A and B are shown apart, each in its own frame.
With several copies, the nearest count.
Chain A
Amino acid sequence: MTQRTESARVALNKLVQDPSDAVAGIRDGSVVLVGGWGGVGVPDVLIDAVARLGASGLVVATNNCGMGRPADVGLLFRNGQVGRVIATYPVHPAATDFLARFESGEVELELIPQGTLAERLRAAGAGLGGFFTPTGAGTLLTERRETRVIDGLEHVLEPPLRGDFALIRAERSDELGNLRFRYAARGLNPVMAMAARTTVVQVDELVPAGRIHPDDVHLPGIFVDRILVSGGVP
């Protein structure tokens, strides 16, 4: 008589060999959290695999909407796979594929403050039902949100943002999925891993269990379901 029905996350056998196995299960309409900030920490091989998979009508949460790299999140717009995107900074001049789909009305955009994006992801990961924040209160971005004055300051109620899948990138993983990130490539990757039912990580390097000191783990493997070792799209 369990209350949650998600499949068990197991500490064992997280390693997948093929990019297509890494993204298996992403379906039309899936909510996919895509890590990376600007050009760093981008899970390019996983994005490329989603492009090959061909699922469409995806709801994508991302910081940017593409920076003109061969396989950043822009590829999913180019392929017409995105139905809705939740983003904070979609206006980079190189986000031409997003722009075209947005202009034609094929893609719906939910623009949210960057801190609210991070906090909504974390709220999902932490099992919260939502939170009040003053960020964005009284602006166009929160017109449809419930509001409440707390300590004299107007707050908006933000819901958790849960993903079916998170596609993230890390520098290093051990066999249990304990991750290390490198400088600004950390970004949203850890909170996205927390917020998804299935978290897939692309890592540059795999090391044996025990090689990363327990106090040096950035994100524990309990948040990681599948590990793909790959240095990136050539």
Chain B
Amino acid sequence: MSRPGWDVPQQARQVARRLPRGGYVNLGIGLPAAVADQIDPDQHVVFHCENGLIGYRGMVGGDDPDPDVIDAGSRQVALIPGAAVVGHDLSFAIARGGRLDATVLGAYQVSADGDLANWTTPAARLSGVGGAMDLALGAKQVIVMMRHRARDGAPKIVQRCSYPLTARRCVGLVVTELAVIEVTADGLAVRQLAPDITFDDLQNATDAPLLAPSATP
């Protein structure tokens, strides 16, 4: 069954091409992991993983998997020439000390003013937080990569988060399978729509009001 909008590799490419050239970028678990597979090597982005690997890429044909070379979701990856390894203390000093140009994180909810909720739900009796709070607060730019709606169809881009927050006013860009949306001082500005998606489709799938591409500078 085909779903509307970009598939995961296409969505990951939308994130990848917006990453700062030559920047250091952390990728969270889940959908964001796919960005490492879609980056143009000429962008010279260096990926940081919370586990202490700095400088990795997605596996390609011919790569030998190494059980100790994995990403945040324990997926096999490969190291680039010039990679470095640190322990978790230094890995998170990097994240918390403001050294990451961007982090790409999954989310349960993002609000119109960039609040992020991505570690627990009101119904959850048990949650994991991992590096979400460290990264959301420490990275220079927080990019959310997620499905546009929750499994039950509820919009995840909301006027105000109803889920417990990870950090306030931290998200700068949201990339879903339907669109690329920037969090601006004026509101949520649609920067790009997936080919088969109209602005009205998008607004219908979104709780917070959106600014149409033509209406945004």
Contact = CB atoms under 8 A, between A and B. Distances in A.
Interface of A: 1-4, 6, 8-13, 37-41, 63, 67, 87-92, 99, 102-103, 109, 111-119, 121-122, 124-128, 133-136, 138-141, 174-176, 178, 181-191, 194, 208-210, 212, 214-215, 217-218, 220-223
A183 B65 CA distance: 13
Nearest to A190: B87
A183 B95 CA distance: 18
A185 B87 CA distance: 9
Interface in B74-113: 74, 79-99, 101
B138 interface: yes
Interface string B142-182: 10000000000000000000001111111110000000000
B70 A184 contact: yes
A1 B169 contact: yes
Contacts, number: 230
A220 B54 contact: yes
B92 A184 contact: no
A62 to B, nearest CB: 12
A40 B67 CA distance: 8
A111 B164 CA distance: 14
Nearest to B113: A1
Question: For chain B, which range describes its interface: under 10, 10 to 19, 20 to 34, or 35 or more residues?
Answer: 35 or more
Nearest to B183: A1
Contact of A12 (B22, B89, B168, B171): B22
Contacts of B52: 184, 186-187
A115 B96 contact: yes
A70 to B, nearest CB: 15
A223 B24 CA distance: 11
5 interchain residue pairs of minimum CB distance: A210-B81, A115-B92, A209-B82, A10-B22, A115-B134
Given A11-B24, A114-B129, A37 B51 contact: yes
B200 interface: no
Nearest to A208: B81
Nearest to B51: A184
Contacts of B169: 1, 3
Interface core residue of B91, B93, B140 (most chain A CB under 10 Å): B93
Given A1-B184, A186-B87, A221 B82 contact: yes
Contact of A8 (B23, B94, B133): B23
A219 to B, nearest CB: 8
B141 interface: yes
A34 B53 CA distance: 21
A4 B88 CA distance: 22
B96 A133 contact: yes
A4 B98 contact: yes
Nearest to A188: B88
Contacts of A186: 52, 85-88
Contacts of A209: 80-82
Contacts of A136: 133
A194 B94 CA distance: 8
Interface in B15-35: 20-24
Given A37-B88, A190-B89, A4 B134 contact: no
A113 B131 contact: yes
B208 to A, nearest CB: 14
Given A116-B133, A140-B164, A220-B90, 7 more contacts: A1-B170, A10-B22, A11-B45, A88-B130, A135-B134, A139-B166, A139-B167
B97 A184 contact: no
A9 B55 contact: no
B132 A113 contact: yes
B85 A214 contact: yes
A55 B23 CA distance: 30
B132 A6 contact: no
A1 to B, nearest CB: 5
A9 B25 CA distance: 11
A202 to B, nearest CB: 15
12 contacts: A1-B114, A6-B98, A9-B23, A9-B24, A11-B45, A112-B129, A114-B92, A115-B96, A118-B92, A127-B98, A183-B85, A214-B83
